[in-house]
Each structure stands twice: as C-alpha cells, then as structure tokens.
Amino acid sequence: MNNRIFKLAVIIGLISCLAITGCNSKDDYVTERALYKINKLAKKVAQNPKATPPAQVEKVIGLYKKFIKKYEGSDLTLNAHIAIAGIYASKEDYNEARKYYEYMQGLYKDKPAVLAEIAFFVGNTYELEKNWNRAVVEYKKIMQSYPFTKKSMEMPWYIIGHYKKIKDDKGASDSYEMALGHFRKLREEHPNAMNALFAGNFVIRILSEQARWQDVIGAIDKLNAEKFKKFVKGDELLFAKATIYRDKLNDNVNARVYFEELISKYPESKGIKEAKEALSKLSQQEEANTKAETQIGIEANVE
C-alpha cells in the first residue's frame, strides 16, 4: 500500500515539476500578467485623472517604465509605452503626451504599422484639444507616410465619419473625394499589393454610397481579379455587375450580357440558379414589353 502511495506521489511530483519547470519566468504569460497588474492601477488613474494625486500618477508611470526595462524585447512593451503616453493625455498634459509619442517614434522607426498607430494617437491629442484641423493634418500624414498600413486604410473613413457625425455635408463630400483619390492612387501605384485589393474595394464602397453606379462598374473592372483570385470570385463580380445594370442603371441589355457570361463561364457558381431565374424574368419582361409596343403600334395604325 505504502509502495503504491509512493508511486502515486512520484507521478504527481513529476507532473508538477514538468508544469512548473516548463514555465519560463520571462514567457509571454508572465509578461502579460505583469502588465495586467499595472494596467489595473492605470485604469484607476484613467477613471478619475484629475482627482488622482500626482504621486500616484508618477508611481504608475514608474511601474510601466520598470516593466519596459525588465521585459525589453517583448511586444508588450509597446502597450506599456502607449499606456504611459495615454496617462499624460488623460491628465490633459497633451504636450507631454506628444513628446512621449515622439520618443516612441524613435524607438519604433523600423515598424511602419506601429508608427502609423503612434501618429494616430498624436492626432487624437489634437482632437482632444478641440483642434480638428491640426488633427486632420496628422491623419493625412498617416495616409501619405504609411500608405500600406491598416491605419492608413482606416483614416479616410475616420475623417468621413467625423464630418458625418457633426453633419457637415461639405466636409463629408470633400472627404469622400479625398478618400477616393487616396484609394485610387494606392490601387494604381501598387496594383499587385494586397492593399490594392482593399483600396479597390473601398473605391467601390465609396462610389456605391454616392450612387455613382456607372463608376462602380468601372471600379469593379479595375479590381485585379486575376491576381487576387483567392479573394475575388469572378462569378461574384459578374453577378454584381449584372444586378447593378438591372437594378440601378435600368439597362437590361447589359444585365443580360453579364448574366449570360456568368452562366457560360461559371456553370458551378453558387449564383447560377439566381442568374437563370433573373434571365428568365428579363425574357418575360422583354416579351411583355414587345407585346405592349406592338399593341401600341397597332392602336396607332388604327387611329
């Protein structure tokens, strides 16, 4: 019996050792836990920045700096840097926040995606100061300087959103044009980059929102479907074009052309049933129109 208990204890001991020794003191988990603890303190500062004593603010910033030093090389140090600048911003010390962002730009000069994020935060500080014009300058800089980042793709929408929110139609319309220009440029200058596909899609979205359907057709044609066939389905493009011609441009002739092309080129397409139904409806409509025209012709002759 004692022997069995001993064996069980050895097995449990081995499992525990395996689990504990496998946990490097600087693994991601430990880093995440350390940052979480500081974030929790920072949350209290952010909840009531004005009432928080400066010593408390300094303490939290100090903890972040210690964290950055201790876990140098971890991706999470970026979060700590952002949090430090965020604390300055929450205290309405925008100059200090921007100074810190500038310092961060030096640290991450080889990482465009991070630089774009930092630039966005800089723009945010101007927005918080109610200086929208200066903020827009910063946001446009992101589009120009880091065109292939996610942030750059988001910026035009952010700017449009701002004007829509304050119900500034002129501002929104100008921003749409600016966005169109930005995305068209991206699409044309780097046709083989993945972001060109996103840019092309955004062009279609903007033109659709403005109900510029003929331009939408043109923009669909400019999608590099051959290059991005993994993401862009040829049959779906044909279907979209056909429905735009039918529903938006009242051009049944072209609609028929694209439905027929879809059926002949992509017999396995999911939209085949719908395309066939659409074609049959178009035929019925044409027949009815012809009958009506003939009737009108007969009546005219009689008169």
Partner 1 sequence: MTEESSQNKPTIFSIWANTYRRIVDNPVVILPFCIIVFIELLALAVLYFFPREPIKSILGPVIEQFFTNGKMYMHYPANFLLMPKLLYWARVVISIVFGSLAIGVSGHLFNLIRQKKPAHLSFGIKVGFKKYISIAVIQIFLYFLYNFVQNSITVVIGKYFVKSGNKAFLGLSANIWQGPILFSIDVILGIIIQLFFIYMYMDVLFGKAGFFKSMLNGIILSFRLFFRTFMLLLVPTLVYLPLAIIIYNLGTVMDRFFPEITMLILAVNVILGSLILDPCIILSCAESYLSKEKS
Q: Where along the sequence are the contacts to partner 1 (CB under 8 A)?
A: 12, 15-16, 18-20, 22-24, 27-29, 32-33, 36
Q: What is the crossing angle of helices 169-189 and 150-165, to 10°?
A: 160
Q: Between 15 and 292, whose beta carbon lies closer to partner 1?
A: 15
Q: Between 13 and 297, whose beta carbon lies closer to partner 1?
A: 13
Q: Closest separation between CB of residue 19 and partner 1, Å?
A: 4
> Could you tell me how many residues make up the chain?
303
Cβ-based neighbours of 146, under 8 Å, separated by 6 or more: 112, 113, 115, 116, 119, 152
Rg of the chain (C-alpha set): 30
Q: Between 6 and 29, whose beta carbon lies closer to partner 1?
A: 29
Q: Distance between CA 112 and CA 105 in Å, rounded?
A: 10
Going by the DSSP 8-state scheme, the letter that residue 32 receives in this structure is: H
Q: Distance between CA 201 and CA 215 in Å, rounded?
A: 13
Q: Closest separation between CB of residue 40 and partner 1, Å?
A: 8
Q: Closest separation between CB of residue 29 and partner 1, Å?
A: 5
Cβ-based neighbours of 170, under 8 Å, separated by 6 or more: none
Phi, psi of 139 (to 5 degrees): -65, -40
Q: Closest separation between CB of residue 25 and partner 1, Å?
A: 11
Instruction: List, in sequence order, every beta strand (DSSP E) within 76-153.
Output: none
Q: Between 29 and 103, whose beta carbon lies closer to partner 1?
A: 29
Q: Between 15 and 298, whose beta carbon lies closer to partner 1?
A: 15
Q: Closest separation between CB of residue 12 and partner 1, Å?
A: 7
